[in-house]
Structure 1
Amino acid sequence: MRRRHLTELLAVAACVVVLAATAACGGDGGARPGQPATVRLGFSAWPGWFPWQVAQEKGLFKENGVTVEVTYFDSYTDSLQALSTGNLDANSQTLNDTLSSVSGGAKQTIVLVNDNSTGNDQIIAAPGINSVADLRGRKVAVEQGTVDHYLLLLALEKAGLTERDITLTPLLTDAAAAAFVAGQVDAVGVFAPFTTTALGRSGSRAIATSKDFPGAIPDHLAFDTEFVSDHPDEVQKVVQTWFDTLKWITANPGEAVTIMARRGGVSEADYQTYNAGTTIFTREQNLAAFTPGADPTHLDHQADQIAEFLVKTELAPAKPSLDGLLEPKFVQAAT
């Protein structure tokens, strides 16, 4: 009997809960199309998403005339499930995880690029393991079905290996980092701020990072597609708030770092080390990413590449349709 992937389990749960939610009142609290609606927005522990905490604490959603209930998830997987099951209207997540949800039947629309991972997703190994090729026969912990699992597969493929050449230990990201520090596994796939935890193991080092695969891990804001159709004004105001928040952070870097480091549970000094590994996207970079193109800097190209890879590695049951996945009009209308 073939082992089920986490993404498939989420898709099964989504089918059941979304049908119930739709029959009841929909994911917008019962507001009719065109009427004001509260936006339920989720995010989790990733440097490119902590600006949402700044937006919440500094009242920037309110300044843009939109009511937003922000929920922080200790478990990234729980945030993915919350959007897929109708318990959120929007969530910040990776492109490959959005495609996994869509392949399982979820209807989601990407309206904003938060950032690209440029080093803050890492495969960290114990002393004596100097390359990805050295992982053959080793125990590697990673949260199955998430972006760092994807990074691990990319790194293995580049080294001429497959998942069958290692002993995969599926754990939630925080538990994976802890298991690595405790010496229970030989390597771990984690994202910041959990990279700080993993590197606490004496002599450990990153043997592969998202910097090695430019454009492979774009992070974005995905909305429930029906919410986008029914409440475009709210979506526009949320997107505008993102860019206003980036301006506020630029003008108030010290206070912003304090807010984001506190949310991440790390020191301000550690938080500042994440800057180079996460490239926050400006409006201009968003416009370029949403423009169709034939290289990894363009979302449509990257989505097609990731979709094929997910099917090839059985992280998704079938290649999802990309129709309606990318909606650039909100970024285009932002000021």
Structure 2
Amino acid sequence: MFKLVRCLGIAAVSLATFASSPTFAAGRNDFKVCWTIYAGWMPWGEAKTQGIVSKWAKKYGINVDVVQLNDYVESINQYTAGKFDGCAMTNMDALTIPASGGVDSTALIVSDYSNGNDGVLMKGKGKQIADLKGQQVNLVQFSVSHYLLARALESAHMSERDLKVVNTSDADISGAFATPTVHNAVTWNPMLADLKSQPNVSEVFDSSKIPGEIMDMMVVNTKTLQQNPALGKALTGAWFEMIALMHTDSAASTSALTAMAKASGTDLANFKGQLSTTALFYSPQAALDFVTSPDMPKIMTRVAKFSFDHGLLGQDAKSADAVGMAFDKGVVVGNRNNVKLRFDPSYVAMAAAGKL
């Protein structure tokens, strides 16, 4: 199976809201992080399989268990509830679930962004976003697909008031699009690739038009990271060793990619296709340049506005600034007295400088 839902479910938001912030003792030796199936996160599973994670954990005198879960939203819920020290999730989900739920979280590694992995599809005569006016659009509500649609509509000087969103689960989106009554859909790979290859289907907008806005990250509990910097060093070192291996032209790279493809339920060619629309940062410096860009606060401000407009920052949120977000060079957007999401580049900077 592929990544199940890149979603901001209402149930998940509710759980996060009522979850207590976990407390962790300093000086721990054992840690757990979780991930779910998605092209950009498959390296975590392979890094565990190859012993790369355990090698880096041993270097810093700790144990790190990298656990695959089958449900994406549930993985974030478990992280938010304190069952895991870290979790792979999107930038929007990090804001709307743990951060909005009061769990101070740090984006340890921004590993990639969607660069065509998400798209808007139309059947028949529709060839541009303006053709969606007055129509129904099927998508996973409150997901990155919903966000992508909102951004697509903005590009055409339209809004969601110009159409009707029909909530459709990721498991049902392909089947729905195959019916004669569904003409428009927004989804992500691998469903996107399958649907847009069908006759008489046009992709009228995709995430490459909003580069950097849909990010994939390894998020860790801020208090745990502050008290146990060895965890940040081990995870960062393991990640970039695995990514570097993937990027080499070698038998070892092909073997690793083949294993990741199989683990995600596809073949090597299809998996490489998914990676081609995933802007993975193959070097620590590339990841560092991205996370320290002055565009980061602007992007997350836009994401916060979408989240607030759709009621995803919690019932008590009075504005899109309800949750504070911290960035490089001390930049904070939102409520400075309620900073709950931090884009901390320090560990990636260590990797870029060869100091891990």
Give TM class, smaller chain: 0.7 to 0.9
Q: Is 1:208 aligned to 2:205, yes or no?
A: yes
TM-score (norm 2): 0.81
CA deviation string 1:93-142 (max 9, x = no partner)? 22122122223433211111111211111112223221122122322222
Q: Residue in 2 aligned with 1:269?
A: 269
Task: Please tell me the residue identity of whatever aligns with 2:82.
Answer: G
Deviation beyond 4 Å, 4+ runs, structure 1: 5-8
Task: Please tell me the residue identity of whatever aligns with 1:278.
Answer: T
- Does the CA contact (< 8 Å) of 1:141 and 1:170 recur in 2? yes
Q: Residue in 1 aligned with 2:288?
A: 287
> C-alpha displacement at 1:257, in angstroms?
2.1
Q: Residue in 2 aligned with 1:37?
A: 30
Q: Residue in 1 aligned with 2:66?
A: 70
- Does the CA contact (< 8 Å) of 1:193 and 1:266 recur in 2? no
Q: Is 1:333 aligned to 2:330, yes or no?
A: no
Alignment of 1:1-40 (within 5 A): 6-18=8-20, 22=22, 26=23, 32-40=25-33
Q: Which of 152, 156, 179 lines up with 1:155 in the alignment?
A: 152
Task: Please tell me the residue identity of whatever aligns with 1:269.
Answer: A
> C-alpha displacement at 1:16, in angstroms?
2.9
Say if 1:133 and 1:104 are closer, same or farther in 2 by CA, change over 3 A.
Answer: farther
CA deviation string 1:249-296 (max 9, x = no partner)? 124331122122112222222222223311111211122123252x3x
Say if 1:72 and 1:141 are closer, same or farther in 2 by CA, change over 3 A.
Answer: farther
CA distance in 1, matches of 2:8, 2:284: 33
Q: Which of 166, 171, 175 lines up with 1:174 in the alignment?
A: 171
SS at match of 1:237: helix
SS at match of 1:87: coil
- Does the CA contact (< 8 Å) of 1:193 and 1:264 recur in 2? no
- Does the CA contact (< 8 Å) of 1:11 and 1:106 recur in 2? no
> C-alpha displacement at 1:60, in angstroms?
0.8
SS at match of 1:86: coil
For structure 1, list consecutive stretches of 5 or more residues without a partner in the other structure: none
Q: Is 1:321 aligned to 2:314, yes or no?
A: no
SS at match of 1:173: coil
CA distance in 2, matches of 1:185, 1:70: 40
Q: Residue in 2 aligned with 1:258?
A: 258
> C-alpha displacement at 1:39, in angstroms?
2.0
Residue-pair matches, total = 317
Q: Residue in 2 aligned with 1:91?
A: 87
Aligned residues: CA RMSD: 2.4
CA distance in 2, matches of 1:208, 1:292: 25
For structure 2, list consecutive stretches of 5 or more residues without a partner in the other structure: 1-6, 327-340
Task: Please tell me the residue identity of whatever aligns with 2:20.
Answer: V
TM-score (norm 1): 0.85
Instruction: Give identity over the alignment, percent.
Output: 24
